[in-house]
Amino acid sequence: MLALLVLGPIAALLLLNLPWRNVPRWALNASVLSLAFAELFVAVSLPALLSGAGLPLLDQLHFGLVADDLTRIMLAAIGLVLGAATLVGQDSISGDRKHRLFCSLLLVSLTGMNATVLLSDFFSMYVFLEVTAVASFILIAQDRALLAIEGAFRYLILSAVAAVFMLAACGLLVLSAGGTSFDAVRAALSSGTEHGVLARVALGVFVLGMFIKGGVVPFHGWLPGAYGSAPSAVSVLLSGIVTKVSGIYALVRIVHSVYVPDAKLSMVLLVLGTVSILVGAIAALGQTDMKRMLAYSSISQVGYIVLALGAGGELGVVAASFHLFNHAIFKSLLFVVAAAIESRAGTSELSRLGGIGGKMPVTGATATLGMLSAAGIPPFAGFFSKLLIIVALFKSDHTYFAVVAVLASLLTLGYFLSMQRQAFFGKPAEGLEDVTEATSGFLVPALVLATITVFAGVLFPFLLDSSFSFLLLSKSLPW
């Protein structure tokens, strides 16, 4: 049944691009949104779907899919961010031809992301990560603006470097484990032989590729340019889910399903996570463009996820997974807000904004909710995922790293308050006196994402006690 999540977008892509069909704009949006809703449906009802009879034809394909609560988290995040990007693209991308290309590339990205999340071997993960990367490169450069092409080129070069690492790692895994499936690699790692040592080296090389694709410091150079110069709808997609699936999900999956970190690997993750948190937060403080500030903020938030994985144990994986989901939601929300402001003010430069909170009250309110969640202010979802990370660090006796994580949240609050003051408070800047509220293509996804980040925080204690919680990763679903 889950194979439909990979085959469905491919089928939709082919049907919508038949040469003799002139598909209207609304039909393209409806197709992508339908697939986004399908993602959410599968995420919510996955246990019932897996206990069903399935489809005979698809059952014979033997895709080797993995399905657990981490899968549910990622499918839910993919569906939500894809829907938000589609709605923003509807109101921000002019020209039917550009919009058709945008929707087609969304379907390609969806295919790559779904396959990455669902397939259970490293070579397949590599292949579909590259599918997602190619679609992302074209999306960034879609407007053919100089800065967009430069950002896309940087992304392409570093993504190619990451691909070399991952492909080399797959070759080493074949030599050491006899295959690239999660089960084969896990067996090789636990063998205690020279093959196990080679498998560890291969896994380290693969993780290095994940660091590049995830924008972890010091491999983050491509990320601000790609996020800041991409079209608004593309920035929502990239920041919300593409880099999360391409780099960070794979890292969480390896720690959760393949390899339990030892002391040396834990220290590497802890150091890289802490450096990413601090570098991203400090760099964000000095930005004058809203989208670039949010891009550096993403680097900092990714650092929290890596830090949680370095804490080790089940609680560390739970904290990383929950913050991965929360980051996808509140960062997509903030980029939707940036897109709404850019659509009305014509710029995302903070020095040219000001006082638009009174002109765009809904946009300003949702921006506040996203910023508070990102900064870890209760009772929003970001607070609870950061709290889990800090508790995991204390339980694993990494007190100093926990203290740094807490203090870095103050930096996060600082640059978000600066952004809020410059963009939304004070008198309207020159030329913005007649600005009006954004259109529904921006407001609907902003309101939906803001509602989720609020309720995921308010209902967090109930989620922990619920048997349907996405967080109980130790209770993997049967396949």
Tens of pLDDT along 7-32?
A: 888 888 888 887 766 778 888 888 88
Spatial separation of the C-alpha atoms in residues 143 and 417, rounded to whole Å:
31
Helices (H), 376-465: 381-395, 399-424, 440-458, 460-465
Range of the domain at 470: 262-479
Residue 203 banded pLDDT, cuts 50, 70, 90: confident
Q: Is residue 306 part of a domain?
A: yes
Q: In this structure, are residues 301 and 323 in contact, taking their beta carbons and an 8 Å threshold?
A: yes
Q: Is residue 357 part of a domain?
A: yes
Domain count for the chain: 1
> Which residues, 6 or more positions from 304, have their beta carbon under 8 angstroms from its beta carbon?
273, 277, 323, 327, 385, 386, 389, 405
Q: Is residue 375 part of a domain?
A: yes
Spatial separation of the C-alpha atoms in residues 76 and 41, rounded to whole Å:
8
The pTM (predicted TM-score) of the whole model is 0.89
Spatial separation of the C-alpha atoms in residues 279 and 451, rounded to whole Å:
30
- Amino acid 63 reads F
- Our measurement of the distance from residue 126's CA atom to the centroid of its chain's CA atoms, rounded to an integer in Å, reads 17
pLDDT at 49: 60
pLDDT at 336: 92
Spatial separation of the C-alpha atoms in residues 404 and 227, rounded to whole Å:
27
Q: If you compute the radius of gyration of the chain from its CA atoms, what whole number of angstroms results?
A: 21
Q: Is residue 155 part of a domain?
A: no
Q: In this structure, are residues 311 and 273 in contact, taking their beta carbons and an 8 Å threshold?
A: no
Longest alpha-carbon distance in the chain: 71
Residue 152 banded pLDDT, cuts 50, 70, 90: confident
- Torsional class of 59: left (φ above 0), alpha (ψ -120 to 50), beta (otherwise): alpha
Q: Is residue 382 part of a domain?
A: yes
Q: Is residue 68 part of a domain?
A: no
Q: In this structure, are residues 352 and 423 in contact, taking their beta carbons and an 8 Å threshold?
A: no
- Amino acid 136 reads S
Helices (H), 17-68: 25-50, 56-59
Q: Is residue 256 part of a domain?
A: no
Residue 224 banded pLDDT, cuts 50, 70, 90: confident
Residue 472's Cβ-count burial label (10 Å; 0-12, 13-18, 19+) is middle
Q: In this structure, are residues 458 and 379 in contact, taking their beta carbons and an 8 Å threshold?
A: yes
Q: Is residue 376 part of a domain?
A: yes
pLDDT in tens, 393-448: 998 888 899 999 999 989 988 888 888 888 888 777 777 777 788 888 899 999 99
